Amino acid sequence: MLAGAPSSARAMAPGATGATGASSPGLVEPVPTTLSDWRGVAGELGRTGEMKRNLMYHTGLPRRDLRVVSRRITIKPALALGSHVSFVRYADGGTLLMGDVVVTERELQQFTDILHEHGIQQTAIHKHLLSQTPDIWWIHVHAHGHDPVAIARGLRAAFDSTGTPGPLPSDPPQPVDLDTAGIDAALGVKGATDDGIYKSIFVRRETITDGGLVLPPGLGSTSAFNFQPLGGGWAAVSGDCALIAKEVQDVLVALRRAGAELVELHNHGLTDEPRLFFIHFWAVGDGVKLARALRPAVAATNVVPAGG
């Protein structure tokens, strides 16, 4: 850790837990929480989040300030420009932070330095899109400690060094210009609309652990197929498949056969078990035909439709 980081905010080494709360194999389980448990975190972040599965306190910070163009398509924030952070309470009294943050190339180094000052770790720095203007980077963040408010304060300091805007009122949901029923049938999952983007989400079936902590289903282990309407039933798809090693080659082949362009193959975490890999891809075409073509990539992985 860097000298000068507040001790209450410093990230523990992954898996460093107290004696209480550990299950017999040495794993520590998450415990349910409510929104009221996270008031201090919400105050530091300057916005209210939401509970997922009664275990994860999730906050979205979309980069609505940016106009990003990739492959001549203007990217809507919900397609690929959303920063997200989740806090989880554990039986030993510790709290885990995991998140994915969008920064411009100009913001990257200062954002990184501020994370380090507050003891927040980076577990990945990479791209989610092919060539884009301006240049964008995605950072995966991680912290584990007993003072979630201090962790949130460090996050806020880092976010304040970027152009990430404050919270805006949510627009009423609007129908998207896509055959969503056809996409649902093709992919085998009921999707949902998020700020003009149709999202089809799957989670890994396995129990995933990270440094001795049992992760709630879907935390750091989702496959997402995001459809941005382009008119006439066409869509730009920015996707992300969560895989274990033995699935990687089959999914790469399936994506290429579907006409998808490969963007990246990488990890998001450092100490996850089983070890997870992620393939990001891009495709443009008729939404239903793309969904149908992408189904074999889903079938090649051990996932189930996300719920709750």
Angle at 308 between CA 209 and CA 64, to 5 degrees: 90
48, burial (CB in 10 Å: exposed 0-12, middle 13-18, buried 19+): middle
pLDDT at 122 exceeding the cut of 70 = yes
Task: Identify the pLDDT of residue 173.
Answer: 77
All structural domains of the chain with their residue ranges: 35-160, 180-305
Cβ atoms of 77 and 62 within 8 Å: the answer is yes
The whole-number average pLDDT for the span 84-100 is 98
- pLDDT-above-70 percentage for the chain: 91
Cis-peptide, bond into residue 175, ω within 30° of zero? no
- pLDDT-above-90 percentage for the chain: 88
Task: Identify the pLDDT of residue 64.
Answer: 96
Task: Identify the pLDDT of residue 169.
Answer: 76
pLDDT at 71 exceeding the cut of 60 = yes
Per the listing, tokens 């105050």 go with: 43
pLDDT at 4 exceeding the cut of 70 = no
pLDDT at 36 exceeding the cut of 80 = yes
pLDDT at 1 exceeding the cut of 60 = no
pLDDT at 22 exceeding the cut of 90 = no
* Average pLDDT of the residues of the chain: 92
pLDDT at 136 exceeding the cut of 90 = yes
Parallel, antiparallel or unpaired: strands 95-104 and 197-204:
unpaired
Local confidence band at 8 (pLDDT 50, 70, 90 cut-offs): very low
pLDDT at 264 exceeding the cut of 70 = yes
180-305 topology per CATH:
Gyrase A; domain 2 (3.30.1360)
Contacts of 39 (CB under 8 A, 6+ apart): none
